[in-house]
Structure 1
Amino acid sequence: MSLQRPPRDTRLDLLRGWLQLQIFASHAHGSLIGAWLISAAWGLSDSSEQFVYLSGFVLGSVFTLKAHRGGWRAGLADLGPRIRRLWTTHMVVLCAMAAMVLAVEMTVPLPGEAARLGWSWLAEAPWLALPAAGTLLWQPIEMGILPVFIWSMLLLPGFLWLAERFGPWALAPSLALYLAVQEWGWQVPGLGGREVEFNPLAWQALFLLGAWFGRRALLHGRAIGLNRWGLGAALLVLAAGAGLRLASHLGALDVSGLDDKQHLAPARMLHSLSLAYAVVALWRVREVALRGPLLRALAAAGRQSLHVFCVGLFLSYGLAVLFRQQGWQWWLEALVVLGGLALLGFATAAEWSPGLARGVKNPQK
């Protein structure tokens, strides 16, 4: 069977750009925008789940296309450099963030800032911490999401090999591992006294489920059938999530067991999949006219999502420091908005500048 690369789905670019803005706002701790005006404030999941699922979807489709055109080695030849670039990006971001956190501790000053964010080991024994970081098993706070992508990408070839031969049964090992995490608390041991964030034994299930649907979309023209009953069920889950989150905001209910992010609690996973299905069911037009600079910039942020995320980490941490020093101020909220616009500008510049675009090639694209 001859497979053709499908036309680019503009919805994915816009969605990933919007998700990047939400991630940036949520990391600017102290901001009312990040606390109340993002989807995580009104549900049991957030942008992280959508990114992991969408990355699996895209890479599952890309690997399948490469393998069908040039054989399994062609798929591996495409995936390998993506993993290497992502690992390199993680290490560069980790070292740069360490420098920023240590500089903040010494100059702001914020005594104990490095220890609070889990960077003490690097400050005390960098000859041990850096090799440990290279294994992806030492993760200071907010340094855990990129390793999840790397570990999941390493599983992708074997998973798609199983899918080629055993169909839906290829999902069984992944789901069994996920259930083991939920039932017995399995997790990957961390180094340097730090827990591995985003337990990869659980989060791989979301990535590989996305890869399964990405493969189906390539082979059969669509990932899943759309019907009223499925949409109704998804909307009920989202409504229940909003109700539970509201009760949590009011102090009437503790939902920490339902929305456990570390181990991707079943309710959290169900909510994220329901949100993905509802968006696809309600927004069926693949090609969206990108009229106006804002929509074009948002789509560019989606295409350059990895590096927009990385730049956003530094901007949001700087804003979080300001919120801690100044308390809530209206002008700090204005800076959050300006920071989001700056990220859109960075993404647009990356696409308009050939040299910069080559320099920020996206391993997940």
Structure 2
Amino acid sequence: MSKGRDGRVDLFRGLALIFIFWDHIPGNVLGQVSPRNAGLSDAAEIFVFLAGYGATLAYGGVMERHGYGAAAMRILKRAWVLYIAHIFLMVLLMGVVVFANARVETRDFIQDMHLGYFVSQTEQALLDALTLRFKPHLMDPLPLYILLLLLLAVIVPFLRRWRLAVLGASAMLYGLTQVFGWNMPDQGGGRWFFNPLAWQFLFVLGCVTAWRPAGAGARWWRARPVVRAAAVYLAASALLALSWRWPELHDAVMPRAVAELIYPISKTDLAPLRLLHFLALAVWVTALVPDGPWLDHPAAAHLRRMGRHSLEVFCLTVVLAPLADMVNTLSGDRAAVQLLTGLGGVAAMAAFALWIGWSRTLTAPAARPVREAAAR
């Protein structure tokens, strides 16, 4: 298992949270700088991969020190906490949406947030919410992560010796999902927006990467041919994504046979082209963005703190996004207001992460005398 915590992991998780927040505000000008506008994948892939990486570092370390039972219990406890947070956050989000809907006459926030099902079929919606079948808009990542944590509880004892076998089984499930269109049922006969049977592969990739022996495989993705191939694919993906802004031009230059081959590039099922784009981005960033003292710069430190408390900060963004959307709509979607709400939300996320970090240090002074006494 790789030792230590790479500061870049938390940094990029913090960046992913910012991009997710901006992407969740319709028409927000800051959303133009999101990765989704420059390629085939977006911040969701970054978040899921690094979630697997970070969770394996945390709970894999528990297993090495205290055994599988302790690690499994810690993982299941975390999954339960997230389940409770999911239910609470759903209630809070409903209150925010109702508040926004009462103040904006030009928008139906209830329908925009996919809450019409709850209004029209409240009893069934409550049952579906408890079984993770009903998920309002913006909340899809949390139920996905709950299931991925349950998966981690199953595979973590096999990552030490059979990580390639685990990866192979995960890849096989991913491939079968692409071929047969498997997914899990959602409310109203629908399907999960983030198909867990497909997205588990990206999570497991993160788990396997975190568990590799120190130094193992540390060179191949820095090899010049690999980095160059990744750069070529990223450039081609950027041109393709840019062409979508001009549909007539896209249709004119895109060969019909190629279009039939690559489309749809499904986010729900994590289409192979999306997965390949993320892997190319990971190779390129890992090779060109070094670990080092620059991560202690105040701006980088704030991002890392947000990434360290990523799930709590994500829950905050679920509430902030519709509030920012409401303010933007009331202002006529003026660019200046969009900038204000977008940057103000980031400031709130940073402040929230700072508060969480500070609150968790309150018990440190009480623990220090115990350690000092034991040392004597």
Tell me the TM-score range normalised by the shorter chain. 0.7 to 0.9
CA distance in 2, matches of 1:263, 1:14: 27
**1:213/1:223 contact within 8 Å kept:** no
CA distance in 2, matches of 1:149, 1:193: 22
Aligned-residue RMSD, C-alpha: 2.5
Moved more, 118-127 or 309-318: 118-127
| Aligned 1:301-316 pairs, distance under 5 A | 301-316=306-321
**Among residues 246, 253, 259, which one is paired with 2:265 in the alignment?**
259
| Aligned 1:106-255 pairs, distance under 5 A | 106-109=102-105, 112-216=108-212, 219-221=213-215, 224-225=218-219, 226-251=222-247, 252-253=249-250
For structure 1, the 5+ residue unaligned runs are 359-365
1:350 positional shift: 2.5
| Aligned 1:81-96 pairs, distance under 5 A | 81-96=77-92
How many residues align? The count is: 351
1:346 positional shift: 2.1
**Among residues 7, 10, 15, which one is paired with 1:13 in the alignment?**
10
**Among residues 278, 284, 295, which one is paired with 1:272 in the alignment?**
278
1:80 positional shift: 1.4
CA distance in 2, matches of 1:140, 1:48: 17
Corresponding residue for residue 333 of structure 1: 338
1:128 positional shift: 2.6
**2:118/2:125 contact within 8 Å kept:** yes
CA distance in 1, matches of 2:347, 2:237: 30
- 1:104 matched to 2:100? The reply is yes
CA distance in 1, matches of 2:191, 2:112: 14
Aligned-partner residue type, residue 341 of structure 1: A
1:33 positional shift: 1.2
1:193 positional shift: 4.8
1:190 positional shift: 0.8
1:287 positional shift: 5.2
CA distance in 2, matches of 1:195, 1:142: 15
Q: 1:334/1:15 Cα in 2 relative to 1: closer, same or farther (>3 Å)?
A: same
Corresponding residue for residue 283 of structure 1: 289
Aligned-partner residue type, residue 228 of structure 1: R
Q: 1:229/1:258 Cα in 2 relative to 1: closer, same or farther (>3 Å)?
A: farther
Q: 1:25/1:115 Cα in 2 relative to 1: closer, same or farther (>3 Å)?
A: closer
**1:159/1:208 contact within 8 Å kept:** no
Deviations 1:194-241 (A, max 9, x none): 43210111101100111111111xx33456433112211211221111
1:110 positional shift: 5.3
Corresponding residue for residue 323 of structure 1: 328
For structure 2, the 5+ residue unaligned runs are 252-258, 365-376
CA distance in 2, matches of 1:304, 1:316: 18
Moved segments of 4+, more than 6 Å: 355-358
Corresponding residue for residue 22 of structure 1: 19
Corresponding residue for residue 362 of structure 1: none
1:111 positional shift: 6.4
**1:104/1:110 contact within 8 Å kept:** no
Larger Rg: 2
Q: 1:296/1:163 Cα in 2 relative to 1: closer, same or farther (>3 Å)?
A: closer
1:119 positional shift: 1.1
CA distance in 1, matches of 2:96, 2:217: 42
Aligned-partner residue type, residue 92 of structure 1: F
Give SS of 1:249's match.
Answer: coil
CA distance in 2, matches of 1:211, 1:298: 22
CA distance in 1, matches of 2:107, 2:12: 39
Deviations 1:20-62 (A, max 9, x none): 111111111111111x112211111111101100111122233
Moved more, 261-270 or 96-105: 96-105
Deviations 1:64-106 (A, max 9, x none): 3222222211211221111111112211111111121123223
CA distance in 1, matches of 2:68, 2:314: 31
